[in-house]
């Protein structure tokens, strides 16, 4: 029973550095996310870390079940004086499980934050493109109308028709640009 406790304690205590390593890497990825967008390799690495953390959590759950049974059941080869030691190992397993659960949640939060930031960035790009399309649509529409071959077009015979049309185009484009700047689309 003492040898079994020593083996289980050694195995459980060996998981703490592994969990700490995973936690350090997840927290560094989280910090990197706040500084810049995650690239494909970083997202793949986070998925692997999440999968490893969940696998480790399953292993610890199985060990916790065994340790709980050794603590609570009357097993002939386990003395009553050793049961508190198994309880201590069980407490370590519970603490490790809580740490890993927290890591899995942090990894999920990193994915959500990365996704939200990417959606926000795409929304900003789409708004910027829409604003420029609206600004460029005005001269296109006016030039399209004046490019038609009609005899009765307004200002065709006027001496200042072309400068007036250009001034209208320019004023509408500038007004749209100012409006989109105020809306922070540009």
Range 144-150 average pLDDT = 75
Portion of the chain with pLDDT greater than 90, in percent: 31
- Residue 140: the pLDDT is 92
pLDDT at 155 over 70: no
Range 96-105 average pLDDT = 92
Residue 34, token pair as written in the block: 């706040």
Helix (H, G, I), strand (E, B) or coil at 79: coil
d(C-alpha 156, C-alpha 24), whole Å = 72
pLDDT at 2 over 70: yes
Q: Which residue has 């296109």 as its token pair?
A: 140
Where residue 134 falls among pLDDT bands split at 50, 70, 90? very high
d(C-alpha 126, C-alpha 113), whole Å = 20
Cα maximum dimension of the chain:
112
Tens digit of each residue's pLDDT (9 = 90 or more) over 31-77: 887 777 778 888 888 889 889 889 989 988 998 888 888 877 777 77
Where residue 97 falls among pLDDT bands split at 50, 70, 90? very high
Q: Which residue has 């499980």 as its token pair?
A: 97
Please state, as a whole number, how many other Cβ atoms lie within 10 Å of the Cβ of residue 93. Answer: 24
């Amino acid at each position: 029973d003492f040898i079994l406790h020593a083996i289980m304690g050694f195995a459980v205590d060996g998981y703490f550095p592994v969990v700490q390593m995973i936690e350090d890497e997840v927290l560094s990825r989280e910090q990197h996310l706040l500084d810049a967008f995650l690239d494909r390799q970083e997202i793949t690495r986070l998925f692997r870390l999440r999968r490893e953390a969940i696998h480790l959590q399953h292993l610890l759950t199985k060990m916790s079940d065994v340790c709980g049974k050794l603590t609570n059941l009357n097993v002939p080869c386990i003395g009553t004086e050793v049961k508190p030691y198994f309880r201590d190992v069980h407490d370590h397993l519970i603490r490790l499980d809580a740490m890993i659960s927290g890591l899995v949640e942090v990894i999920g939060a990193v994915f959500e934050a990365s996704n939200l930031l990417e959606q926000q960035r795409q929304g900003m790009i789409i708004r910027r493109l829409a604003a420029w399309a609206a600004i460029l649509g005005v001269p296109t529409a006016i030039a399209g109308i004046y490019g038609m071959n009609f005899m009765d077009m307004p200002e065709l015979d006027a001496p200042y028709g072309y400068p007036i049309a250009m001034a209208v185009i320019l004023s509408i484009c500038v007004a749209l640009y100012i409006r989109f700047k105020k809306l922070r689309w540009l």
